[in-house]
């Protein structure tokens, strides 16, 4: 693995890998909740957990205990964030154009807003994200990240949806851009 990004595509691929681990963590947490929830017995009639499992080819063993999996995933997320940060610094020194970084800097996006942008772009980059978001939304017709799913990925309780709505809402910075 290179110490810096050779091009913008490598940069995006690593960010999508980070997003994939964050989504995997949410899938694992959802699986744990499903065992306690009677209404969730209908989940999986359209998209099964096996199908979701196949998307995560580079994930830890999904048969492990959920708590162990989440620990492993958290470790992967932490390591990826560290690696991405280091590679961004080195890539900037080598004058490798990282367009998403430039956009985020130009508009003053926070890390959270950058991740929201990546989530929105992910479904256009790869259809597997459509399947993942459908599963997480528990609705085959909703293939994009919803506020509820985004909120859960950011590990907030539903009491903190107003903070997320500050970003996405009518007065939110992202909304004003479009």
Residue 161 pLDDT level (bands cut at 50, 70, 90): low
Closest CA to 99 of 7, 1, 3: 7
What is the spatial distance between Cα 114 and Cα 165, in angstroms, rounded to a whole number? 15
Token pair 């890998």 is at which residue? 17
Look at the block and give the residue holding tokens 């909304």.
175
Confidence of residue 110 (pLDDT cuts 50, 70, 90): confident
Contact 76, 21 (CB under 8 A): yes
Residue 20 lies in a domain: yes
Has residue 1 been placed in a domain? Answer: no
Contact 130, 47 (CB under 8 A): no
Residue 147's pLDDT band (cuts 50, 70, 90): confident
Q: Is 22 exposed, middle or buried (0-12, 13-18, 19+ CB in 10 A)?
A: buried
Structure confidence at residue 157 (pLDDT) = 44
Q: What is the pLDDT of residue 165?
A: 67
Whether 25 is in a domain gets the answer yes
Residue 3 within a domain? no
Percent of all residues in the chain with a pLDDT value above 90, rounded to a whole number:
30
The DSSP output letter for 80 is H
pLDDT at 101 (0 to 100): 93
Residue 89 clears pLDDT 70, i.e. is over it? yes
pLDDT computed for residue 148 by the predictor: 83
Q: Residue 35: which residues within 8 A CB-CB, separation 6 or more? A: none
Expressed in percent and rounded to 5, the helix, strand and coil fractions of the chain are 70, 0, 30
- Amino acid 158: pLDDT: 43
- Please give the helix or strand (H or E) that residue 151 lies within, else none: helix 147-153
Q: Is residue 21 part of a domain?
A: yes
Q: Is pLDDT of 3 > 60?
A: yes
Per the structure, the count of domains in the chain is: 1
Cα diameter, the chain = 55
Residue 130 lies in a domain: yes
Instruction: With a cut of 70, say whether residue 36 has pLDDT above it.
Output: no
- Residue 88: what pLDDT? 94
* Mean pLDDT over the full length of the chain: 80
Q: What are phi and psi of 136, to 5 degrees?
A: -70, -30
2 in a structural domain: no
Residue 91: domain span: 8-177
């Amino acid at each position: 693995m290179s110490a810096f990004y050779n091009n913008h595509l490598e940069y995006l691929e690593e960010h999508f890998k980070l997003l994939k681990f964050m989504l995997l963590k949410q899938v694992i947490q959802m699986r744990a909740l499903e065992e306690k929830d009677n209404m969730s017995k209908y989940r999986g009639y359209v998209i099964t957990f096996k199908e979701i499992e196949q998307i995560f080819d580079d994930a830890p063993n999904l048969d492990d205990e959920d708590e162990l999996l989440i620990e492993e995933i958290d470790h992967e997320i932490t390591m990826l964030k560290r690696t991405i940060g280091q590679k961004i610094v080195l890539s900037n020194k080598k004058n490798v154009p990282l367009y998403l970084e430039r956009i985020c800097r130009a508009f003053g996006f926070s890390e959270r807003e950058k991740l929201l942008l990546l989530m929105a772009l992910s479904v256009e980059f790869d259809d597997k994200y459509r399947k993942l978001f459908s599963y997480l939304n528990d609705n085959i017709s909703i293939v994009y990240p919803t506020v509820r799913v985004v909120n859960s990925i950011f590990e907030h309780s539903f009491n903190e949806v107003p903070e997320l709505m500050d970003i996405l809402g009518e007065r939110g910075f992202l909304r004003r851009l479009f």
